[in-house]
Amino acid sequence: MSTTPQSMQAAILHGPSHVTLETVPVPPLGETDVLVQIEAATTCGTDLKVFLQGRHARMITPPSVFGHEFSGTIAQVGTRVRQFHEGMRVVGNNSAPCYRCYYCRRNLPNLCDDLLFINGAYAEYIVVPERVVQTNLLVLPDALPCAVACLTEPLACVLHCLDLAKMHPGDTVVVNGDGPSGLMLAAMAAWRGARVILCGRAPQRLGLAKQFGVDAVINYAEVLDQVAAVRALTEGHRGVDVAIEAVGRPEVWETTVAMVRKGGQAIFYGGCQGDTQVRFDTHALHYDQLTLQGVFHNTPYHVRLALDVLASKHLDGAALITNTLPLARLCEAFALMRTRQALKVAILPGSQHA
């Protein structure tokens, strides 16, 4: 067994847009934990929010490590770990349910009362705690690059969302939002046999959506009335069977509902700011018998499914990774995200060139 590294480079969040690269001790490894040397960590909208706000209300208080989409090689396992060993390439989900609470017993593990989250992907090493080791640490197929494997977590959220969609092959689905999640939602809805419309505002991303099997794209910047533009793509302007919001803005939640046909469903995938409200027309909800569906996070089942989808290339994960940067340039990655120049940036902590 190789010796445990004592210290590592890690990006430490100190406050709004304030991150420094520091040498910190490698966290202690418990006897049921696994130490992963991170090969790649991808940026995500949530990380950008955390970076800009300098904290996360539920899980990150500065100074702190952060980042949650990671993949790498096992550097060491705790003395009581049997199913993993040093040298295995793995991807970890950023959370694990308890499988004891009311919601876990109701088969709603994403709503677990005691969901354990891990952070610290923007570092050379991460300690994966027992519960994640037991439920949500998966071995990678040899051919799958670590950077692509990092998409397992967000893709698991996407697949979980689509399982809540009352959607049949041939149905029309609109996805509002051309971020990585919107593109994955659109691609996976198309893969499941829906006719998909994607609404966004970046021509390059709308082009990528077409590569992903999306039938029609609408550029917000080019239409006066987005709702009318979407309805015009349905028979008799009746509206779509399922409309998904993947932006996280109250006004888009509202337009998403307005795109749905009678008896159809609106799904809210994008999380809005904490203190926001939305307004819906009660008559439309009542007489048109609409279903409004919130959705949060993923489940261990969907984590496995996501890795399978990436490994079998049903989704071209590599196409979503537009940039690759060493850990020392993490702030640049967030600048690229904020200006929407990047979809996902793969941060490579092992890469030394700064």
3-state secondary structure 221-275: HHCCCHHHHHHCCCHHHCCEEEEEECCCCHHHHHHHHHCEEEEEEEEECCCCCCC
Site string for Zn ion, 93-112 (x = CB under 5 A): ----xx--x--x-------x
The span of 53-61, 91-99, 128-136, 327-335 binding Zn ion (CB under 5 A) equals 91-99
CA distance linking residue 317 with residue 40, whole number of Å = 14
From 49-57, 89-97, 260-268, 287-295, span contacting Zn ion (CB under 5 A) = 89-97
> 241 or 245, CB closer to Zn ion?
245
Interactions with Zn ion, residue window 204-263 (CB under 5 A): none
Residue 88 CB, nearest distance to Zn ion (Å)?
23
Shortest Cβ 101–Zn ion spacing (Å): 3
Size of the site for Zn ion (CB under 5 A): 7
Helix (H) or strand (E) run with residue 47 in it: helix 45-53
Q: Which is nearer to Zn ion, 101 or 202 (CB)?
A: 101
Give least dist CB 149 to Zn ion, A.
13
CB of 217 closer than 8 Å to CB of 199: yes
DSSP state of 276: -
DSSP 17: T
Q: Where do we find the tokens 């399922």?
A: 242
Question: In DSSP terms, which residues pair with 77 in a beta bridge?
Answer: 34
Alpha-carbon span 200 to 186, nearest angstrom: 11
Please answer whether residues 345 and 39 qualify as being in contact, where contact means their C-beta atoms are separated by less than 8 angstroms.
Answer: no
Residues 338 and 319: their CA atoms lie apart, in Å, by 19
User: Is the CB of 44 or the CB of 149 nearer to Zn ion?
Assistant: 44
Least distance to Zn ion from the beta carbon of 181, Å? 8
* Least separation in angstroms between CB 109 and Zn ion: 6
Nearer to Zn ion, 257 or 303 (CB): 303
Which residue's CB is nearer to Zn ion, number 104 or number 198? 104
Q: Does 144 bind Zn ion (CB under 5 A)?
A: no
Rounded to whole angstroms, the Cα distance separating 293 from 164 reads 8
Contacts to Zn ion from residues 312-331, by CB under 5 A: none
Within 146-165, which residues bind Zn ion (CB under 5 A)?
A: 154
Minimum distance of Zn ion from residue 112's CB (angstroms): 3
Compute the least distance from the CB of residue 38 to Zn ion, in Å: 15
β 69-77/34-42 pair status: antiparallel
The footprint of Zn ion on residues 26-65 (CB under 5 A) is 44
Nearer to Zn ion, 98 or 164 (CB): 98
| Minimum separation from the CB atom of position 176 to Zn ion (A) | 19
Which lies closer to Zn ion via its Cβ, residue 112 or residue 199?
Answer: 112
Burial of 111 (0-12, 13-18, 19+ CB in 10 A): middle
Residue nearer to Zn ion on the CB measure, 100 or 210 = 100
305, containing H or E segment: helix 300-311
Residues that bind Zn ion (CB under 5 A): 44, 97-98, 101, 104, 112, 154
